Amino acid sequence: MATDKLRMIPLGGLGEFGMNCMALRWQDDIIVIDAGLMFPEEELLGVDIVVPDISYLIENRSKVKAILLTHGHEDHIGGLPWILSELNVPVYGTEFTLAYVEGKLEEHRLLDNADLIEMLPGKRFTLGPFSIMPIRVTHSLVDCVALAIHTPVGVVLHTGDFKVDLSPPDGKPFDLHAFAELGKQGVLCLLQDSTNVDRPGYTPSERAVRPRLDEIFAQTKKKLFFSCFSSSIHRIRVAMELAHKHGRKVAIIGRSLDNSTEIAQDLGYLDLPQGLIINPGQIRDQAPDKVCIMISGTQGEPMSALSRAAVNNHKFAHIDAGDTVLLSSRVIPGNEKGIYRMIDHLERRDAKVIHDDGTAGLIHVSGHGSQEELRLMINLVRPKFFIPVHGDYRHLKRHAELAAGMGIVEKVILLEDGDVLEFDKNTAVKNGKVTTGRVCIDSGGSIDVVEDVVIRDRQHLSEDGIVLPIIAINKRTGRVENTPEIVMRGFAIQDDKLVNDARNIVQKTLDNSSAEEKADYAIIKEKIRNDLKRYIQKQTSRRPLIMPVIMEI
């Protein structure tokens, strides 16, 4: 019977970076691993975030038992408000991950009804036919776990995002022993993070950035602006320890950084000396060489604190000639323009900018394992089946080749969003597809879904502009009261003859329409749109958005 198979259905994250979301189903029970978002490409004009299409979960809402989170990055938790507004199910995460989730749900007014349950690394818990063991892994964020899911057909191990760091700053190393134990017991399937599959060797430990950062702190003569991802708690910790060592007070600027440091302090990840932190308003009272300003905005986001400071438009963060700005982060692909524009502004202020351009030394390390760590994990757990996750298709393909080349795995399977993979104890076979895709959301609201047609209209507007024929019709008699007016915006060809001809076309359409048609605004608008579209396309080979406006008199 088909119901005796374990089904694995990726709903996002396989074929793109972000939107990580994976469903596991045994008979009438479904658990979901992660609920991420992704940030839109430029062609998704005006869209703020993109979340996975969860039609499959909504169709099976009574079967969804819980959402399990591997860690607190946006590409793993950012889709939660959207998903929980559709399906109110329990959410499991580690203490730090849930602290991030709480803030996110509060913003969307969903916290009061949410059921958030803490899971502890090394403590097994059961959900229906699934028994889940969270295992501590290291990443650029703290309190991250892999999930070993014991199912009726065998163990499915999802690594989440990880690198093998045996000496992280928080003293909670990657749990090699637990993975080795799993390998001894036998693992049916390993799902592994593909992000850094192109990088040879090992990813350095978080501690590896300390010597170079220490040098920069020692050499900086004036104010030091330190910027990193707000979730990089390890990096924030190192920066604060170095500020203290070099006699600098720390001011924190930026909502996301403020929020992260507060959570990290509450949960014991940051233990700060008395008097180290000052209020942003106190920066001007300090000698320039006695202050370190931790500021958000490493990716050049237009309204971030650092972008505003770069154009001298921030209340507290003033960048003067000779100040140092240190970007302890990588350039996320797609953000290059914004980052370099911001660096240009900083250079104009005569600041010294240090960023990860290959010449600055080790000021940033990745949170994802490189090739040798990926091989180490496969060697430790020796899975029967291997599935690469978390990456564009090319990353998944490279990762599949790396795993197959080791000669350990019985079968390597390349999955994409929507594929249904069915397991029993001995086989893994693709069987069908479910609906997946992306849902575009505007203005961060959990309900402002942008339909494809809206995106199409925005692209249309950005390429060919808009033409508004304005017609005044007497409501009582149905008579056209004056010559139609034509307004063109963003339409490159502003030719008087074209405008006059367009006016005549509209007039002609009106003249050839009956009083009944003119009284039905939907019909008359469509007739005008079609006639005008045909004419403009023929004359100019352009296709502007045509929106007839009927004014009732």
Q: Tokens representing 157?
A: 């191990």
244 is catalytic: no
CA triplet 219, 225, 229: central angle to 5 degrees? 120
Please state, in angstroms and as integers, the Cα–Cα distance from residue 242 to each residue in 319, 369, 505, following that order: 21, 26, 73
Q: Tokens representing 322?
A: 């000779």
Q: Quick one: which H or E segment has residue 84?
A: helix 80-86
For residues 87 and 114, the answer to whether their CB atoms sit within 8 Å is no
Please state, in angstroms and rounded to a whole number, the distance separating the CA atoms of residues 227 and 229.
7
Nearest alpha carbon to residue 15 among 485, 499, 474, 415: 415
76 is catalytic: no
Please state, in angstroms and rounded to a whole number, the distance separating the CA atoms of residues 400 and 53.
26
Q: Which residues are CB-contacts of 89 (< 8 A; sequence separation ≥ 6)?
A: 32, 64, 65, 66, 67, 115
Residue type, 383: P
Q: Which member of 314, 368, 395, 399 is catalytic?
A: 368
Nearest alpha carbon to residue 542 among 504, 505, 508, 495: 495
Q: Which member of 161, 165, 193, 323 is catalytic?
A: 193
Please state, in angstroms and as integers, the Cα–Cα distance from residue 88 to each residue in 110, 114, 506, following that order: 10, 7, 52
- Count of C-beta atoms within a 10 Å radius of residue 200: 8
Active site residues: 193, 368
